[in-house]
Amino acid sequence: MQSAPALVVVLLFLPANGMTADQVANRVGLRFDAQVVRVGDGDSVELIPVGETKPLTVRLEGIDAPELAEPFGREARSFARTLLLKQHVHVHGRDTDRYGRLVARVSVGTRDASLELLRAGLACYFTRYATDPLLAEAQARARASAIGFWAANAQKPQCATRSPQRRNRRRPDSKPPAIACDADRQAYSALRSHPLTDLTNSVQGRRCHGLAGGSDHGFPA
């Protein structure tokens, strides 16, 4: 009989799907239709490809939504449920993650789930693993408009407060950044292309040195 520790090791390496790791990996680069049967949280769903029976767990590409126990975690899941649950969706596999999930863009009609969550201020642009100017712009607009957890007095989930590269690093005791001061380079470019406000000032009226001077955060002037 197999020992308990060995069973734990085996379970840790099973993919988070009804499919094998190879079956999941083979979907990278593919486009296919499916029906969403479960929404785990704001950025993960379970779906069944059309014509198949085994469920596939998908991580929405390009975003990081709050965990359920975090501020706005349940709101993000509720939003994703309303948008995706029991819907016929189109899936574009992009990668796999360390948990064996397919990382993909999922859309309902013309609505891209990753973009919709960012526009609602219920997810962060995951700059560590994505380089998409549309996602960057969606987050920049949500922040500038103080939507969702970007509202001034709203509690912030970890994705909105962790020191970026992950958006750009700043000391924990520093003042709150001005609009897009700690945004990644793409978000900065998006805002310059589609100006929403004077980038030299924050909503509180503080000067945004990183954008105005081009040195604090390494952005061009």
Which range (22-36, 79-93, 155-169, 175-189) has the least confidence?
A: 175-189
- What residues contact residue 201 under an 8 Å CB cut-off, 6+ apart? 178, 179, 207, 208
- Distance, in Å, from the CA atom of 88 to the CA atom of 202, rounded to the nearest integer, reads 41
The answer to whether domain 4-162 has CATH 2.40.50.430 is: no
**pLDDT value at position 18?**
80
pLDDT at site 170 = 35
Contact 40, 27 (CB under 8 A): no
* Of the candidates 119, 136, 150, the residue with the CA atom closest to the CA atom of residue 184: 136
In the structure encoding, which two tokens stand for residue 158, read together?
């970890």
Interval 111-167: pLDDT, tens: 999 999 999 999 999 887 778 999 999 999 999 999 999 999 999 999 999 755 444
Domains of the chain, by residue range, sit at: 4-162, 163-221
The rounded distance, in Å, linking the Cα atoms of 156 and 121 is: 11
- The bridge status of strand 63-64 relative to strand 56-60 is unpaired
Tokens of 3: 């020992």
